[in-house]
Amino acid sequence: MVLRCIASTCILLFYFVCGLPGLRCDAARADEDKLFIGRKSILRYKPAAASSLGKGPKKNLTLPEPTSYGYLDVNAEKGSAMYYMYYEAQEANSDDDDVPIVLWLQGGPGCSSFFGMLYINGPYFVNDDLTLRRNLGTWNRIYGMLFIEQPVGVGFSKRGTAVIPDNELSVAWDLYRALQSFFRNNAHLQSRPLIITGESYAGKYVPSISHFILQATARANGFEERLRHPRKLSDKVEAPLFHLGGLAIGNGFTDAETQTAVQAQVAWGMGLIDSVQLKVAEQLQDQVIELVRSREWRAARNMSDVLLAYIATSSGSATLEDVRRNTGYDSRNQVDAYLNSPHLRELLAPSGVPPASALPWVSCSSEVDHIMGHDVMKSVKNLVADLLDYMPVLLYQGQWDAECGVGSNDAWIHTLQWHGHGGFTAARREFWRVNGRIAGYWKSYSTLDVLVLRNLGHMVPHDNPLIGQLMLERWVEIAVRGLPYDRDAGVTPEEEEEYSNPDQAEHST
């Protein structure tokens, strides 16, 4: 699914024909109250209503049922706009006026959030007959959920006469304007905290847009100079109409140099390559790192693809994103097929979406990927360090991802220079149990939570919808809202079975 790896096999073949180069054949936290991050001053908890999704006969749907959908202006003068779908919380308490809204961003670069909506953590999964079945593990059980197709040029989003952005700051500026449009059109939602989430290359998108919002908030409240890593924002940036509650990144690609430096060792530790192949992979990753340090960004990205392709080819892996799988994620392109289906396009036509013959929907845009290609290997970890001074951050990884998994993320997390560095390093990693079994390993200190999920791959909520849902809810309720949470302690084996995703069993060993 991650575009930076799709082209790598072709690149690898080229290098094997031509020859691989160099180879033989604690600081004080600043004014949380000014950021309105959504914590409650008084702890209170009212359990949501019992779920009705699993009751009675399961009925497949032909069409999704979003609360609202359509285009959000980005640059009205140039005709650029992003397409969105919003789903209100299914079981929100009617007297709770600050139910969080979760924004999901897909990676790539150039992959659509609608892929996540229909394959990862949205309300539905796509069936073989292009109907929809309800996903009991959806992340909008007790939260609103927002999917926006970004950057412009992705999915149904309109580019107009605007250029597709080629760097993280420009991507964030466009998305910020789309978010402003959404909350301007939905003023009743402005008081609810926004939680920004994503996976893979969204390990760059999520920190970038979150930091953009943080800096815009800081500018509006007079403390922009206190940010350690400010960026040059346009003078046209308005104060946000909403407030940021926190951010969560799954199996993220955030800091290319440190993550690349362990790529070969991770593959060897998983048994994907032997000691001879390890040396080849280490030579490749050394070349990637040298290119990064030389700021030869596009060449570094291309060589990174070569490295990943070498490991995948040497191990015979269908995908490094979950080395247990016999096929890649959504290898049959069911999401693409559904979003190009006549009945779905008929639903969307009144909102301005053209027919599939005029605008075929694809999960990932090769054009956006190419334009963003030189930006892929640039780090955004310093933005995360700033964010940790003001709000909760969750970094979670599925155990069986050999590309952007546990070792890859652990490497850059421990290089973060933030107020809790020493405390986090010394903190004990605890077992997280669900139904009496260890579901993962949870480590927390101050504003940072890091969670490793057992027996899961790159797309955690897809691989185990129930675990993905419990993970998000536990973190949001405790770290963001300051409320207790114990639903994970009462899960039954029957619920685990009911929530399971048959795709994972079908396509894994």
Within 186-274, residue ranges assigned H as helices are: 202-221, 256-260, 263-269
Provide the pLDDT for residue 61: 85
Instruction: List CB contacts of 92: < 8 A, sequence separation 6 or more.
Output: 48, 99, 142, 143, 144
Q: Determine if residue 215 is left, alpha or beta; phi over 0 gives left, psi from -120 to 50 gives alpha, anything else beta.
A: alpha
Token look-up 């390093």 returns 425
What does the alpha-carbon distance between residue 409 and residue 406 come to, in Å, rounded to a whole number? Answer: 5
Which is the catalytic residue, given 112, 181, 200, 444? Answer: 200
Average pLDDT over residues 74-94: 92
Provide the pLDDT for residue 41: 26
* Residue 86 CA: distances (Å) to CA of 135, 150, 365, 436, 461: 16, 15, 22, 35, 19
Q: pLDDT digit string (tens) for 188-219?
A: 999 999 999 999 999 999 999 999 999 999 99
Average pLDDT over residues 470-493: 96
Provide the pLDDT for residue 18: 40
What does the alpha-carbon distance between residue 318 and residue 272 come to, in Å, rounded to a whole number? Answer: 12
Domains of the chain: 59-254+332-495 (3.40.50.1820)
How much is the pTM?
0.88
Provide the pLDDT for residue 322: 95
Exposure b/e, 193-215, CB count within 10 A at least 16 = b: bbbbbbbbbbbbbbbbbbbbbbb
Whether the Cβ atoms of residue 497 and residue 465 lie closer than 8 Å to each other? no
Which is the catalytic residue, given 211, 458, 462, 507? Answer: 458
> Does the structure show a pLDDT above 80 at 330?
yes
Q: pLDDT digit string (tens) for 406-441?
A: 999 999 999 999 999 999 999 999 999 998 899 999
37 vs 309, higher pLDDT = 309
Q: Are strands 144-148 and 393-398 parallel, antiparallel or unpaired?
A: unpaired
> Does the structure show a pLDDT above 60 at 392?
yes
Provide the pLDDT for residue 97: 79
Q: Which of 21-25, 55-59, 95-99, 360-364 has the highest mean pLDDT?
A: 360-364
What does the alpha-carbon distance between residue 282 and residue 306 come to, in Å, rounded to a whole number? Answer: 12
List beta partners, residue 410: none
Edge-to-edge strand order for the sheet containing 437-445?
68-75, 80-87, 144-148, 101-105, 194-199, 244-250, 393-398, 448-453, 437-445, 430-434
Which is the catalytic residue, given 73, 401, 449, 463? Answer: 401
Token look-up 């029957």 returns 494
Provide the pLDDT for residue 503: 78
| CA angle centred on 210, ends 201 and 134, rounded to 5° | 65
401 belongs to the catalytic site: yes
> Does the structure show a pLDDT above 90 at 57?
no
